[in-house]
Each structure stands twice: as structure tokens, then as C-alpha cells.
């Protein structure tokens, strides 16, 4: 990820933030559509879960300029997700649902360049989280 990618991701997230409740609803709807097997991992109030998702995304997106500031929290989150039943193979599914959500939420502002920037950002973070939770061998798969 380069500085231009970071700027694109941060700028686009500022456009999504005002519709964060809708974005979270779109995200989980898409996730459960493409991977219904993960739905039992989510218990409780999905609106609250959506707020947590969007808040976490906000912290990560803001921290992209200084990635080392978000990595400790990302490591802890990855390890916590193992207890919920999350496996390394779920990360690409979640990434696909996230990109789909961003495309829907941003409409015409979603460009191939922006898609590539978000893909790079998600790949960087998810690769790190997978290696923290399951070891570096699974992160490479």
C-alpha cells in the first residue's frame, strides 16, 4: 500500500461514515447471503454489532498512515475472533462482502483505482490478522 492508496481509502471512508448504519446492514446482509454458515457466529443485537464494525473500520482507516498504531489492536481482535469460530478462510469472504458494501455505498465514486486501494488495505490487514491468529503459514494461503 502506498500513500496514494491510503489517501483514497481514507477519503472514501469519510463518504461512507455518514451512512454507517446502512453500510453495516448492507455488509452483514451480503455476508450472510454469500456465507450463511457464519451467521451462527453472530449473537446479540446486530445493530450494535454493525456500530462496532464501523467504529473499528474507522479506527483502522484512520490508522493506515501509521499502521504500527493499529497492529496491536488488530492482533488482539484476530485472536479474539478465533474463540468465535472464525477461521482463516473466512477472511476473504469478509473482504468480498466489505468491497461489495463499499461499491454499493459509494456508487459512482467506486472506481477500479479505489477498489484496488481497498483490496490492498484489506489484504494487508487481513494477512497480518491471519498470521497473528493462526500463524504465518495460513496467512500465505
Whole-number average pLDDT of the chain: 93
What is the CA 30 to chain-centroid distance, rounded?
A: 13
Among 78, 85, 83, residue whose Cα is nearest residue 41: 85
Indicate whether 44 pLDDT > 80: yes
What lies within 8 Å, CB to CB, of 117 at 6+ separation is 1, 4, 5, 6, 8, 9, 12
At 53-62, the pLDDT tens digits run 999 999 999 9
What lies within 8 Å, CB to CB, of 138 at 6+ separation is 88, 130, 131
At 106-123, the pLDDT tens digits run 999 999 999 999 999 999
Indicate whether 47 pLDDT > 90: yes
Q: What is the mean pLDDT of residues 49-68?
A: 94
| Domain span holding position 65 | 3-140
Residues written for the chain? 141
**What's the total number of domains in the chain?**
1
Residue 46 has a pLDDT of 94
Residue 106: HSE in the Cβ half-sphere, 13 Å Cα cutoff: 23
At 123-134, the pLDDT tens digits run 999 999 999 999
Instruction: Give the CATH number, domain containing residue 42.
Output: 1.10.490.10
C-alpha cell at 37: 454458515
At 1-23, the pLDDT tens digits run 899 999 999 999 999 999 999 99
Cα dihedral angle (76, 82, 87, 88), rounded to 10 degrees?
20
Residue 140 has a pLDDT of 46
Tell me how far apart the alpha carbons of residues 24 and 138 are, in angstroms, rounded to a whole number. 28
Amino acid at each position: 500500500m502506498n500513500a496514494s492508496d491510503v489517501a483514497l481509502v481514507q477519503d472514501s471512508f469519510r463518504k461512507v461514515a455518514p451512512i454507517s448504519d446502512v453500510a453495516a446492514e448492507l455488509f452483514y446482509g451480503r455476508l450472510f447471503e454469500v456465507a450463511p454458515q457464519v451467521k451462527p457466529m453472530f449473537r446479540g443485537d446486530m445493530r450494535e454489532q454493525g456500530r462496532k464494525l464501523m467504529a473499528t473500520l474507522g479506527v483502522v482507516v484512520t490508522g493506515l498512515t501509521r499502521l504500527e498504531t493499529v497492529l496491536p489492536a488488530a492482533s488482539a481482535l484476530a485472536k479474539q475472533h478465533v474463540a468465535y469460530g472464525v477461521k482463516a478462510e473466512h477472511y476473504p469472504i469478509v473482504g468480498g462482502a466489505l468491497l461489495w458494501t463499499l461499491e454499493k455505498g459509494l456508487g459512482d465514486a467506486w472506481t477500479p483505482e479505489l477498489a484496488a486501494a481497498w483490496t490492498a488495505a484489506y489484504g494487508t490487514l487481513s494477512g497480518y490478522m491471519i498470521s497473528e491468529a493462526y500463524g504465518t503459514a495460513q496467512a500465505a494461503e
